[in-house]
Structure 1
Amino acid sequence: MVQEENDLVEYGFRRVIITITAVLCALLEIVDTTIVNVALTDMRGSLGATLTDVAWVITAYAIANVIVIPMTSWLSQQFGRRNYFAVSIVIFTISSFLCGNAGNIWELVIFRFIQGLGGGALLVTAQTIITESYPAAKRGMAQAIYGMGVIVGPTLGPPLGGYIVENYSWPYIFYINIPIGIIAVILTLSFVRSPKYGEKLKANQVDWIGIILLAAFIGSLQFVLEHGQQDDWFDDPLITGLSVLSLFGLILFIWRQLTYQYPIVNLSVLKDGNLRVGTFMCFILGFGLYGSTLVIPIYTQQILGWTATDAGLLLIPGSITTAFMMPIVGNLIQKGVPQPYLVAVGFLIFFFFTFWMHNAMTPDTGVEHLFWPLIMRGIGLGLLFVPITTMALSTLKGKSIGEGAAFTGMMRQLGGSFGIAIITTFITRYTQKHRVDLVSHLDGSRLEVQQRINGMQQSFMSKGFSASESLAKAHQALDYNVMKQATVLSYMDIFLYLGILFLCCIPIILFVKRGKNKVDMSEAMH
């Protein structure tokens, strides 16, 4: 077994190529999650779709992603890891081409779903391939290299998408995947090797019922999270129905996996205490990473009036900081610094970032006010990603490690979905609440209010509008300012609550047992 394990370790040029291939594939997958966000308006225009329809472009991809991630370890064992990885890249690349050529919105949604099925596999499989290519002593560094791609990816999407949409047209956000995909397939088939697996299951042993229950549970949950706010949550019969389906799907799926002889997801691996704490931490990390990545571009574009490209570029220095932190953190773990300490410091720094953002937000904040808080966010993410992943897997052995990696990957994605759903709901509700509070202070009989409206009316009249038109425009402008202020206050609330959430996570880390620092992920598939 040790011999087989060592067979997968690569050195020199081969290891460099395998690392580049795996990071490239993880990046492809993650960039594609966020690159579409800035192109939705252009897609609506050219495909003649409504805002609700076009939101499906994001939802379909996310649903497919989250369904396939828990099954990756099992699928790798069925088809051989190299073959499964290569086929996933091919599916991703072909569907990227089809997405760019879609003639209407529903074609695009179907191709995005297929792209998500290919893409979900890339994340977890890339993680296992990288870690298996490094000797045990360097596994912390391998996690750090993989982590760079995972953390930098969501941030690269918006500026890259903004640049492509402004200078070319939206299909090119999909076409850029094609040459990278072709190169990745060639490199995978030439350099990546598969571990030796036991017997494959026959078609009649495959847990088809389990697969259907998993798709029903995860797919429904993801839909509810993505569409709940715009469809008014449980006032909508579809959302209520899918919530019930998701709950029953989960219960039946757990029962099926615990009783079936050949489960597709090995739930017994969750008996490990560190993995349970680690999956919860991955959920919170996804919540904070994707949640704050959502709020900041919306705030800068809606309130401060920035372009999509500028909003995306703002996030890049923080991402570079995270990338810079990754190898340092990998090195600290290798030297024996306990991961729980690093995670605790990471959560504390993230709390300071949210508190700083809460205080920095105004209707006319500049780049200089946001730059340093985002650098701090980059440091916090660097201290969280690698230690949480290695901590979660530190007390696992054998192929349980690959199964554990699939759980952490799924929980990070689900955390992001929950974060985005809860944050968009909060923004809508809190903006309304703050608007009501602000309007109650705008008493028309107060002198300052009358002077303000009068001054605005005079300003409009000087531009050639009649007195009645100018008065209407003055009221409109005042209402717009109130709405803007209410939105800023709701964003401030979001950052305050995010900060409290991260602060509450610190005591949970005390439940972590000291495991081995160097996670031996090459055991994962044997």
Structure 2
Amino acid sequence: MDKNIYFKNWIHNWNWGMRTALFLILMFTIIQFSLFSLTQNYVVSYFGAQPEDVTFSIQVTYISLLFTLPLQIRFLNYFNTKKYLITVLLIGIILNLLSMKTTEIEIFILLRFLQGMIISFIAGGMLTFIFSRLHEEKKMAVGYSVFYGTLLGSSVVAGAPSAWIIDNTDWKMIYYVVILFQIISILIVFLIFKSEREQKKYPLYQIDWKAYLILGSGMFAVAYCLVYGPKHYWFDDKSIVYSFFLAIILISLFVLRQLNSKRPIIHFSIFKSKRFVIGLFFLALFYGLKDTINLVYNYVSVINQWSNYDYIELAAVNISGMALTMYIASQLVAKKKFPIHYFLILGFILMLAFNFWMYKIISPGLDFSDLMIPIFLQGASSGMLFVPIATFILSSVPVHTGISGSLVGGTVRFFTTLNSFAGYYTLQLFYNQHYKEQFLKYLTPYDLNYAERNSSSVQSFISKGFTPQESVSLANSSILKSITIQTQLLTNQTIFLGVSYALIGIILVVLSHFIYRKLSLIQRNSKSSVKNITIQGIKIQ
């Protein structure tokens, strides 16, 4: 690709200036994706909504981002690049102004869907431009490191100013900060992009709009089912039943339409590649198992009641671990000297270390110094695994399939993240109830430990000036609160241990396959050496 079809001459040959400009636009755009991930409690209280509503809004944003990716490539190749990017950024500003005014959670979710499209149009374009500036052998490893690292790091970058704004002003001031970022992005676009397009113009009439509508609707149904399912006791609720069957019907229709389409959005022929399917399997394992970190974030915010700043500081440690190993992994992958087994074994060992460490230390009152190392290890495991797996997946599909590999990988991430959310939520409900029942067995007047503690607690409240009746009520509430905390800690401990066992199994499977391949290679080399032996005396070539 001609590297100078987009950019003005003054910045074209200034690599670091170009990289900085593109990265700033990418960061300012992706910040909107995770804008409410660290401040969702305030969104919940403002709209009078449930935590699941905010989670659903985040998934809706990701859905629109994901299935808009193929469209943004078509738009980028049709419209004038400079005018196109500026127009999209202006629409993004309007959406943020509307979001600032809305008080209805349903309208907020709709606006988040539209914002996901804006994020896709801009971030997807920035990735295209970044790829055009990279050497061929580094495109996938470095490009996806930048995108994934920015996606995860944006929560911390957005979280720190959001926490300050929330503590000092109205939380809706966050929108003004985002709008400021969008204005800066417009200025950068105006300065670095050419006014006239120099690339071939591709028509838009061949876009299969019906397929996009079916795919988007099916993903919405899946998201609704898996986000609200645990809360509504799954199929005991009719809306979950309807969304489940609607998801199956719509996704089946999409697959059939793609199989019979001349220009499919996703080329299902990519599933003929064994390497591609194996890569997807490990991507699903990675996304499904890494989300145990949310148990830690829930622990520090609910049980320890950390401030937003402490919470963000802990997240920053996680991101730093991810950034370090992601850089190392991307450099090693670009050199193509190490098979994927090395990265899988090391990455899952780091994830195992995090989960087993948390299993051993989880208890009331852990502080930042207790959690810093395991949280860093979790980030390091994510960085070590994502880039090699993503590169392995995308290198396994033919070039003519376009971004089919990326779309399928993103869809696997979507389904797996929702499954892990629903799975961990359901596990917590089950084990919380299990352990609570175990504790309640001992809350009887005949249990000496309970009777002694309850009596001591009642006397403590009486000594503080409460009446005997009030003291009994407060003592019971105190014990129930203690039980709730203990059941949650035991639940977390059980999940950490279960995931640790699963990771041990994965590591053993990968290690055994790696050893098998090595032994097979040695055996083949040995046979090849025997064939080279000629009987002339004894001569070995």
The TM tier, using the shorter chain, reads 0.7 to 0.9
CA distance in 2, matches of 1:118, 1:395: 30
In structure 2, relative to structure 1, the CA distance for the partners of 1:20 and 1:287 (3 Å cut) is farther
The Cα shift of 1:292 comes to 3.5
Residue among 67, 72, 76 paired with 2:73: 76
The Cα shift of 1:57 comes to 4.2
Query: What pairs with 1:87-106 in structure 2 (closer than 5 Å)?
Result: 88-106=88-106
Find the counterpart in structure 1 of residue 265 from structure 2.
264
Query: What pairs with 1:19-38 in structure 2 (closer than 5 Å)?
Result: 19-28=19-28, 30-38=30-38
Find the counterpart in structure 2 of residue 252 from structure 1.
253
Find the counterpart in structure 2 of residue 519 from structure 1.
none
The Cα shift of 1:25 comes to 4.7
Q: Secondary structure at the match of 1:347?
A: helix
Find the counterpart in structure 2 of residue 344 from structure 1.
345
Q: Is the 8 A contact 1:42 1:170 kept in 2?
A: yes
Q: Secondary structure at the match of 1:35?
A: coil
Find the counterpart in structure 1 of residue 107 from structure 2.
107
The residue identity in structure 2 corresponding to 1:405 is: S
CA distance in 1, matches of 2:388, 2:193: 26
CA distance in 2, matches of 1:471, 1:170: 40
Find the counterpart in structure 1 of residue 312 from structure 2.
312
Find the counterpart in structure 1 of residue 49 from structure 2.
51
The residue identity in structure 2 corresponding to 1:60 is: S
Q: Secondary structure at the match of 2:441?
A: helix
The residue identity in structure 2 corresponding to 1:460 is: F
CA distance in 1, matches of 2:262, 2:191: 36
Q: Deviations over 1:233-255 (max 9, x none)?
A: 11110111001000111111100
Find the counterpart in structure 2 of residue 473 from structure 1.
474
Find the counterpart in structure 2 of residue 183 from structure 1.
184
Find the counterpart in structure 2 of residue 131 from structure 1.
131
Find the counterpart in structure 2 of residue 62 from structure 1.
59
CA distance in 1, matches of 2:100, 2:517: 49
Find the counterpart in structure 1 of residue 303 from structure 2.
303
Q: Is the 8 A contact 2:276 2:393 kept in 1?
A: yes
Residue among 203, 206, 229 paired with 1:200: 203
CA distance in 1, matches of 2:45, 2:485: 26
Find the counterpart in structure 2 of residue 453 from structure 1.
454
Q: Secondary structure at the match of 1:210?
A: helix
Q: Secondary structure at the match of 2:36?
A: helix
CA distance in 2, matches of 1:56, 1:232: 16
Q: Secondary structure at the match of 2:469?
A: helix
Q: Judge which range, 432-441 or 321-330, deviates more.
A: 321-330
In structure 2, relative to structure 1, the CA distance for the partners of 1:143 and 1:260 (3 Å cut) is closer
CA distance in 2, matches of 1:127, 1:502: 33
Find the counterpart in structure 2 of residue 520 from structure 1.
none
Q: Is the 8 A contact 2:234 2:240 kept in 1?
A: yes
Q: Deviations over 1:78-137 (max 9, x none)?
A: 542847666554443432232123244343332222112222444554444322321124
Q: Deviations over 1:476-500 (max 9, x none)?
A: 1111101110011112223223334
The reply on whether 1:499 has 2:500 as its aligned counterpart is yes
The residue identity in structure 2 corresponding to 1:417 is: L
Find the counterpart in structure 2 of residue 402 from structure 1.
403
Q: Secondary structure at the match of 2:170?
A: coil
In structure 2, relative to structure 1, the CA distance for the partners of 1:244 and 1:478 (3 Å cut) is same
Q: Is the 8 A contact 2:156 2:316 kept in 1?
A: yes
CA distance in 1, matches of 2:283, 2:193: 28
Q: Deviations over 1:171-220 (max 9, x none)?
A: 12232221222232443465469995684242xx4323212210221110
The reply on whether 1:166 has 2:163 as its aligned counterpart is no
The residue identity in structure 2 corresponding to 1:63 is: V
CA distance in 2, matches of 1:57, 1:372: 30
Find the counterpart in structure 1 of residue 532 from structure 2.
none
Q: Larger radius of gyration, structure 1 or 2?
A: 2
Unpaired runs of at least 5, structure 2: 519-541
Find the counterpart in structure 1 of residue 465 from structure 2.
464
Percent identity over the alignment is: 21
Find the counterpart in structure 2 of residue 487 from structure 1.
488
CA distance in 2, matches of 1:392, 1:213: 25
Coordinate RMSD, CA, aligned: 3.2
CA distance in 2, matches of 1:413, 1:17: 34
Unpaired runs of at least 5, structure 1: 515-526
Q: Judge which range, 308-317 or 345-354, deviates more.
A: 308-317
CA distance in 1, matches of 2:417, 2:434: 25
Q: Deviations over 1:460-513 (max 9, x none)?
A: 000111222212211111111011100111122232233344444443695999
Find the counterpart in structure 2 of residue 377 from structure 1.
378
Find the counterpart in structure 1 of residue 367 from structure 2.
366
- Work out which structure has the larger RCO, using CA pairs closer than 8 Å and 6 or more positions apart in sequence: 1
The residue identity in structure 2 corresponding to 1:303 is: I
Find the counterpart in structure 1 of residue 323 from structure 2.
323
In structure 2, relative to structure 1, the CA distance for the partners of 1:145 and 1:367 (3 Å cut) is same
CA distance in 2, matches of 1:503, 1:197: 52
CA distance in 2, matches of 1:18, 1:409: 27
Q: Judge which range, 232-241 or 177-186, deviates more.
A: 177-186
CA distance in 1, matches of 2:504, 2:378: 14
In structure 2, relative to structure 1, the CA distance for the partners of 1:85 and 1:495 (3 Å cut) is farther
The reply on whether 1:119 has 2:119 as its aligned counterpart is yes
Q: Secondary structure at the match of 2:32?
A: helix
The residue identity in structure 1 corresponding to 2:117 is: L
Q: Secondary structure at the match of 1:263?
A: coil
The residue identity in structure 2 corresponding to 1:329 is: A
CA distance in 2, matches of 1:259, 1:284: 31
Q: Deviations over 1:280-332 (max 9, x none)?
A: 3333333344x245322211021112123212211212211222222222222
The Cα shift of 1:404 comes to 1.6
Q: Judge which range, 20-29 or 451-460, deviates more.
A: 20-29
In structure 2, relative to structure 1, the CA distance for the partners of 1:174 and 1:424 (3 Å cut) is farther
The Cα shift of 1:160 comes to 4.1
CA distance in 1, matches of 2:444, 2:341: 53
Could you state the TM-score of these two structures normalised by the residue count of structure 1? 0.86
Q: Judge which range, 169-178 or 77-86, deviates more.
A: 77-86
The Cα shift of 1:272 comes to 2.8
Q: Is the 8 A contact 2:68 2:120 kept in 1?
A: no
Q: Is the 8 A contact 1:100 1:174 kept in 2?
A: yes
The Cα shift of 1:29 comes to 5.1
Q: Is the 8 A contact 1:340 1:391 kept in 2?
A: no
CA distance in 1, matches of 2:24, 2:181: 8
The residue identity in structure 2 corresponding to 1:200 is: P
In structure 2, relative to structure 1, the CA distance for the partners of 1:272 and 1:362 (3 Å cut) is same
Find the counterpart in structure 2 of residue 522 from structure 1.
none
